[in-house]
Structure 1
Amino acid sequence: MSSTRIGSQEPRIAVEPDRIDSDGPDASWLAAQCGLTLDEWQDLVLTSWLGREARDRYASISCGLSVPRQNGKNAILEARELYGMAVLGEKILHTAHRVDTARKSFLRLVKYFEGPDANPDLVELVVSVRKTNGQESITLSNGGSIEFSSRVNGGARGSTYDMVVFDEAQELTDDQMESIMSTMAAAPSGNRQLVFTGTPPSPVSPGTVFRNKREKALSGQDARCCWHEWSVAEVGDVSDKERWYETNPGLGIRLDEEFTESELNTLSREGFARERLGWWSDEEGGNPALSKTKWGECYMNPAPEPTGDERIAYGVKFSADGQGYALSAAARPKDGPVLVECLEVGTTANGTTALANWIIERKGVCAVCVIDGKSNTAALERKLLDGGFPRRALKVASPAEVSAAASMLKDAVDEGGVAHAGQPTLTESAVSAQRREIGKGGGWGFGDGKHPCCPIESVSLAHWGVRTTKRNPARKLRVG
């Protein structure tokens, strides 16, 4: 018996609706006949997905799996799809974020139906195999079929399906989900199932569906959803190998410590925690910059009408790569909270002239404009000064001032000293931003300077500017 250590076969989080039976063992047996032998953890997940309730329908209408990359989740999908097509005669749609990912999934599955390693019983079922890139499909004589599609190319093809797989679910957006859900309204078997597999979303992942699915499963809001997750509750000590084995069921099987160490030495601490330890950044034990609850309490609807005597500041934050920026404003009335708003999230593909001209046009009402970012800051500063923007009203923030701006905004949010109108772009940025270390003195800023952190960073600059400046452009100079 091998003494090689392997990762935990039990997930840290397992939410499973009650079931009276499961097709999981049969599906696992069929996969084994095709040369695909599942690990213990893969069997566990498959058994839950194929669990049946009293009416002989799936106990789980939705199935979620969050596990670090390269552990073997695709084998579970293959076993589930094989059984669904060949035994149950299901019509399946397999979607992925990218075209190449969808095609790789097709190539893994099609080898069971044709070629030298194909299963003879499955070969006899084949009616057609379509290999056109982006339109791959397999159709069987029992009515079962599977189509593969990239969601960026439209996802569904207008057919109806019994089962839809959302691979790379961390990238799945609400719009994509809505367009695909309509294909299941008239599921041929009347027994529908949605499967979501992926890793914790990164700060730049556009999708919200996977995160929402997780929250509803863990809170019990979705009683017909199963969820399995290999993860840590907090970033913690990322070099602790015990935690590697707890979160990677395929470690010692298809992953090894040497490769994991190379990831540790390459990725950021938070990046390693997310990609290899399955850490969800919004879970207790993370390091969020702002309280989601407190930010929500700062929502003001309707926003108060301007009186004309507010002091106004602008904040401009350029992204770390210099390709984008966020422009925000803060208005400080004589009484009440400072009002903040993200005015624009834009690109620097055509330079910064239009941005500079917009600010210059408002030099008569702007008390101060605060700028930050390694790229494009100097260019914008020069254009503003050349355009007649007052030098005393322009501030390029130092690292210490960026840290002070972040801390000041956090305090204002916690104490109700700031108000916003609930802009989706700004709110997403505010509630997803994590702390990043600035210097060695305990200072911190928002996120890593990439979207979606730029909006809240620019707001912090504008807020800091309007709270610290003594300049009032409306004040008239008195003589004598």
Structure 2
Amino acid sequence: MTGPEYAGTFGPEVADLCEAVGFAPDPEQRLGLDMMFGFDRRGKSTSFEFACICSRQNMKTGLFKQAALGWLYITDQNLIVWSAHEFATAMEAYRDMANLIEGSRFLSKKVKRISGSHGDETIELKTGQRLKFKARTKSGGRGLTGDKVVLDEAFALQPDHMGALLPTLSVRPDPQVIYGSSAGLAHSDVLRGVRDRGRAGSSARLGYCEWCAPRQACADEKCDHEPGKWVGCQLDKVENWQHGNPLLGRVRANGTGLTVEYVKAERDALPPMEFARERMGWWDDPSTSDIFGPGKWENGEREERPADLQLTGLAVAVAMDLKSSAVVAAGANDEGVWLRVLQHGPGINWTVDRLKALSAAYQVPVVIDGKGPGSVLIPSLEKENVLLHVATTQDVLDAFANLRTKVTAGEVLYTPSKELDEAVAGAALRPVGDRFAIGRKASTNDVSPLEAGSLAAWQATIGPAQGKSAYESDDYDDPDIMYV
């Protein structure tokens, strides 16, 4: 835990209030309350930001409910806004708070109204304090402003949320922003920035607490963390579970708790990296392993390929700066989807003639992202009567979801390819609504081979087998092809 020094704190008073109404804080929650409610000699909050990163069902939501009671009943904040990424999560918090307040005679007698109308879930006291619950929308942080703002499910925060929210707090007399989340995902850039500042203790007004296991190597360097398969896997160590779950082995007065037996069952049921993130606090980093899982992409490399594999997928993609292009073929058999980079070279001018020849030879449409950089090729390809499938945004999202699913399942295979490996190594995720695409701006390498491979694999797996053998045709022996 890191954070600013404070002259005093209302934390103990808030904890006493919560205990009096049957919602006693755990020791870790008391520490969080002390920091959140710490104030300086002027009576202002010392923590403008406060973040709690911890595994699910341990302390975060309970801590924020306790803080909300403190803001309503102890420090008399005018407006508290509780937001979550998912509407259902915000509504669950609203129902819990409403039940908690209605179940206490002391708390409920001060309530003016509890409104549960869709989109306007509010708890209002007779003295005017309000607690509102909202889901964050694509429009960003507009409508989230308040004296105290809780950003639950902070792993999903985007820069536009913060850009819309933070300036609105400047006119509030004593604003605070509260972040709550389990360990971040690959695209959790906002939360990762908070984490880095919190771990370093480099922000003068950020209070930060995090529970996570140390990220250490397993006993066997080949370990892929599959349950029951390896001796000495870090994901099997109970002491690591304890680091990420302060509630583990503890039973509260109300009977709730987290047992080792349950976590063992969860270990068997969850995919390894989901368990590592959600139970051990291991963050996903923006790298290949975040997109496909450790070693999953590399496991698909094959020195030899089937001689009778047919080309049923053909796609082109262009780098964002238009400085390079990639043409990738795909074929499918019982083993999975096979990818091969046919050509990856500078510029875009060479692609039209190449695609015209390939499409004519194999009688398959060329898939191209209709809203990506490669869309500049569409008029020229149409002029040459090249058979095209112009992919919609939905197609692109479906294609990438298909690729991720198949790579994770070990069903994407490819001949050794420097271009593909480099594209995968530098690729970053880009959230599109509740789904993901390949993020060109955030990626550190040219990802056009991976984009084309994603579209080609999608075409090969949703359509009937067509064309001639993709890997024994003379076309694949063209000396102009840049082999990998």
- Report the TM-score range of the alignment, normalised by the length of the smaller protein: 0.5 to 0.7
Pick closer, same or farther for the CA change 1:328–1:255 going to 2, 3 Å: farther
Which SS does the other structure have where 2:120 is aligned? Answer: coil
Q: Which moved more, 1:227-236 or 1:92-101?
A: 227-236
CA contact (8 A) 1:330 1:459 kept: no
Match of 1:478 in 2: none
Aligned amino acid, residue 457 of structure 1: L
CA contact (8 A) 1:19 1:52 kept: yes
- Alpha-carbon RMSD across the aligned residues, in angstroms, is 4.6
CA contact (8 A) 1:61 1:193 kept: yes
Match of 1:250 in 2: 247
* Alpha-carbon distance between aligned partners in 2 of 1:213 and 1:424, rounded to the nearest angstrom: 24
* Alpha-carbon distance between aligned partners in 1 of 2:426 and 2:12, rounded to the nearest angstrom: 56
What is the aligned counterpart of 1:87 among 74, 77, 91?
74
Count of matched residue positions in the alignment of Structure 1 and Structure 2: 352
Pick closer, same or farther for the CA change 1:332–1:101 going to 2, 3 Å: same
Match of 2:235 in 1: 238
1:158-207 per-position Cα deviation (integer Å, ceiling 9, x unaligned)? 585210000011011122233333442322xx11110000012234x5x4
Match of 1:262 in 2: 265
The answer on 1:33 being equivalent to 2:16 is no
What is the aligned counterpart of 1:425 among 435, 439, 442?
439
Match of 2:124 in 1: 139
The answer on 1:192 being equivalent to 2:175 is yes
Which SS does the other structure have where 2:284 is aligned? Answer: coil
Aligned positions of 1:253-332 closer than 5 A: 253=250, 254-282=257-285, 313-315=326-328, 330-332=344-346
**1:361 CA drift (Å):** 2.9
**1:110 CA drift (Å):** 1.5
Match of 2:146 in 1: 161
* Alpha-carbon distance between aligned partners in 2 of 1:411 and 1:166, rounded to the nearest angstrom: 32
* Alpha-carbon distance between aligned partners in 1 of 2:365 and 2:452, rounded to the nearest angstrom: 21
**1:16 CA drift (Å):** 1.3
What is the aligned counterpart of 1:107 among 85, 95, 99?
95
* Alpha-carbon distance between aligned partners in 2 of 1:398 and 1:97, rounded to the nearest angstrom: 32
CA contact (8 A) 1:89 1:145 kept: no
* Alpha-carbon distance between aligned partners in 1 of 2:119 and 2:202, rounded to the nearest angstrom: 36
**1:314 CA drift (Å):** 2.5
Which SS does the other structure have where 1:113 is aligned? Answer: helix
The answer on 1:78 being equivalent to 2:81 is no
Aligned amino acid, residue 42 of structure 1: Q
CA contact (8 A) 2:120 2:133 kept: yes
The answer on 1:213 being equivalent to 2:194 is yes
CA contact (8 A) 1:235 1:270 kept: no
**1:109 CA drift (Å):** 1.1
* Alpha-carbon distance between aligned partners in 1 of 2:283 and 2:117, rounded to the nearest angstrom: 37
Which SS does the other structure have where 1:139 is aligned? Answer: strand
Match of 1:457 in 2: 450
1:43-102 per-position Cα deviation (integer Å, ceiling 9, x unaligned)? 111111111123221111000111011113211111100010112111100001111111
Pick closer, same or farther for the CA change 1:472–1:156 going to 2, 3 Å: closer
Which SS does the other structure have where 2:160 is aligned? Answer: helix
Aligned amino acid, residue 480 of structure 2: N
Q: Which moved more, 1:35-44 or 1:353-362?
A: 353-362
**1:112 CA drift (Å):** 3.4
CA contact (8 A) 1:103 1:133 kept: no
Aligned amino acid, residue 249 of structure 2: G
Match of 2:48 in 1: 61
Question: Any unmatched runs of 5+ in structure 1?
Answer: 1-13, 290-301, 334-351, 367-372, 378-396, 414-422, 432-452, 463-467, 475-480
Match of 2:407 in 1: none
- TM-score normalised according to structure 2 size: 0.61
**1:234 CA drift (Å):** 1.8
Match of 1:450 in 2: none
What is the aligned counterpart of 2:185 among 190, 199, 202?
202
CA contact (8 A) 1:103 1:134 kept: no
Pick closer, same or farther for the CA change 1:261–1:83 going to 2, 3 Å: same
* Alpha-carbon distance between aligned partners in 2 of 1:83 and 1:332, rounded to the nearest angstrom: 61
The answer on 1:178 being equivalent to 2:163 is yes
- TM-score normalised according to structure 1 size: 0.62
Aligned amino acid, residue 163 of structure 2: E
